[in-house]
Structure 1
Amino acid sequence: MLLLAVDTATPAVTVALHDGESVLAETSQVDARRHGELLLPAVDAVLSEAGRALDAVTGIVVGVGPGPYTGLRVGLATAAAFSSALGGVPVHGLCTLDGIAYAAGAAGVEGPFVVATDARRKEVYWARYEDPRTRVGDPAVDRPAEIADQVAGLPAVGAGALLYPEVFAGATGPEHQSAAALAALAAERLRAGGEEAFLPPVPLYLRRPDAQVPKNYKVVTPK
C-alpha cells in the first residue's frame, strides 16, 4: 500500500505519502490564495523526500470538504488527474473535518468535541465528534451564534473555532487540515474494511459558491 493524500479544503495546501503503516513524508503550507500554484510542487517534494516515484502509488486519498469552492476543487481535480494517469488507481474521499478530528486525537483530544473550520461570510463548517474517529451526524455550515447552544461546553478544534472564542470556549489546535492525519485515517479504514468507509471523491460544498454572476450582467451578442 502506498497512499498519496492531498487536501485543499482549508487554507492549508497539504500533501502526505503513507505506506499503510506510517507517514513517509508530508508537507503543509498555509496560503488560501495559491492552492493551484502550490499543490503540484508539494506532491513532487513529498515523493522526492520519500524516495518514491508517482507510479508506485496504489491509492489517492483526498479531502472532499466542506470547504470554499475554488480551493476545494483544486485538490479533487488533481486527485482525479493522478488516478487517471496511474491507470485508474482508486480515489478515497474523506471528509476534511474527519481528518482534523483524527489529528486532534493524536494531539490528545479525546471527545466528545467539535471541529470547526472557517467558511468565510462569518460562518463555520462544523461537526460534532464522539471521539476522534466517530462523527455525530453530517457536517453543516452555520453562523457561530446560531449553534452556540449545540456546542456549549464542548472542547473545539480548528481555525473556525479559534475565530469565534465567544462561542467555542477553550478552542485549540490543530488549526488546519493535515494530509498526514488524513492518510493515516484512510490507511486505518482500508485495513479495517474497505471502500464502504469512504466518500465519493466529489466536492462537499454545503452552500453556493462565493463568486456570483452580477445581477445586471449585460449579455453581448454579435449583430
Structure 2
Amino acid sequence: MLLLAVDTATPAVTVALHDGSSVVAETTRVDARRHGELLLPLIDSTLREAGLKLDAVTGLVVGVGPGPYTGLRVGLATAETFAFALGVPVHGLCTLDALAYAAGAGTPGTGPGTGPGAGGGIEGPFAVATDARRKEVYWARYDDARTRTTEPAVDRPAEIAEQLAGLPVAGAGALLYPEAFPDARGPEHVSAAALASLAAEKLAAGTEFLPPLPLYLRRPDAQVPKNYKVVTPK
C-alpha cells in the first residue's frame, strides 16, 4: 500500500506518502495565497524524496475541510484527478480530524508548525480551531485524538469561548485568539503526515471515509458585486 495524502484547507499546502506502516516522506509549505502553484511541485518533490514514482500510489487521501473555498478545492480537484488517472480510490477526511490526530496521540508530522516541539500529546478532551478569516474559526471538539464529539462549525471565537472554557485548543485559530482560548496549543497547521496516518488506521480497521467533496460551512468570500452595471449589446 502507498497512500498519497494532500491537504490545502489551511494556509499549509501539505503532502505526504504513507506505506501502510509509517510516513515515508512529507513536504509542507505555508502560503495561504499559492495553493495552486505549490501543490503539484510539492507532490513531485515528496515522491522524489521517497525515491518513488506516481504510479506506485495505490490510494489518495484528501482533506475535505472545512476551509476557504479557493484553497480547499485545489487539493480536492488534484486528488480526484490523480485518482482517476491512476485508477485508484480517493478517500476524504475532515481536516479538523487530522489536526486533532496530530495534536493528540497521533503523528505530529514534520512540516512547519507541526513538529514534536509544536504540539502533540494532548490528553483528555480538547478542541481544534483553524483560521476561517472574517474574525471566525472553524472548530470541533474531541474526546481524544480519534474521537470527534461535535460537528465541524464556524463561529466567532467569543461565541464559543464559554463552551470550550478550560479545554486545550489546538491550531492556528486558537493561537490567533488567545483571549478566547487561553490554553492555545500547537500544531498550528494540519499535516499531511497526520492525515495519511489517520487514513491508514481507518483502512486497517475497515471504517468509512467521507466522500471527496468540499466541506463548506459558509458562502465563498468572493461574491458578485452588488449594484454593478449590466452591459448589454446594442
TM-score range, shorter chain: over 0.9
Deviation at 1:219, TM superposition (A): 2.3
Q: Residue 56 of structure 2 corresponds to which residue in structure 1?
A: 56
Runs of 4+ in 1 over 4 A off after TM superposition: none
* 1:213 aligns to 2:224 (yes or no): yes
* 1:142 aligns to 2:155 (yes or no): yes
Question: Aligned with 1:217: secondary structure?
Answer: coil
Percent identity between matched residues is 81
CA distance in structure 2 between the partners assigned to 1:99 and 1:37 by the alignment: 23
Q: Aligned residue pairs: how many?
A: 220
Deviation at 1:137, TM superposition (A): 1.8
Deviation at 1:167, TM superposition (A): 1.1
Deviations 1:9-39 (A, max 9, x none): 0000000000010001001100000000000
Q: Residue 177 of structure 1 corresponds to which residue in structure 2?
A: 190
Q: Residue 94 of structure 2 corresponds to which residue in structure 1?
A: 95
* 1:117 aligns to 2:130 (yes or no): yes
Deviation at 1:200, TM superposition (A): 0.7
Unmatched tracts of structure 2, length 5 or more: 107-119
Deviations 1:63-111 (A, max 9, x none): 0000000000000000011011102x11100000000000012421122
More displaced 10-residue stretch of structure 1: 99-108 or 32-41: 99-108
Deviation at 1:222, TM superposition (A): 2.1
More displaced 10-residue stretch of structure 1: 105-114 or 24-33: 105-114
Counterpart of 1:162 (choices 175, 200, 203) is 175
CA contact (8 A) 2:10 2:189 kept: yes
CA distance in structure 2 between the partners assigned to 1:217 and 1:79 by the alignment: 36
* 1:201 aligns to 2:216 (yes or no): no
CA distance in structure 2 between the partners assigned to 1:12 and 1:111 by the alignment: 26
Give the aligned CA root-mean-square deviation in angstroms: 0.8
Question: Aligned with 1:149: secondary structure?
Answer: coil
Deviation at 1:221, TM superposition (A): 2.5
Specify the code of the residue in structure 1 equivalent to 2:204.
Answer: R
TM-score relative to the length of structure 2: 0.92
Specify the code of the residue in structure 1 equivalent to 2:180.
Answer: V
CA distance in structure 2 between the partners assigned to 1:30 and 1:181 by the alignment: 16
Deviations 1:92-137 (A, max 9, x none): 0000000000001242112200100000000000000000000012
Q: Residue 79 of structure 1 corresponds to which residue in structure 2?
A: 79
CA distance in structure 1 between the partners assigned to 2:55 and 2:215 by the alignment: 28
Q: Residue 222 of structure 1 corresponds to which residue in structure 2?
A: 233
Q: Residue 166 of structure 2 corresponds to which residue in structure 1?
A: 153
CA contact (8 A) 2:166 2:183 kept: no
Deviation at 1:193, TM superposition (A): 1.0
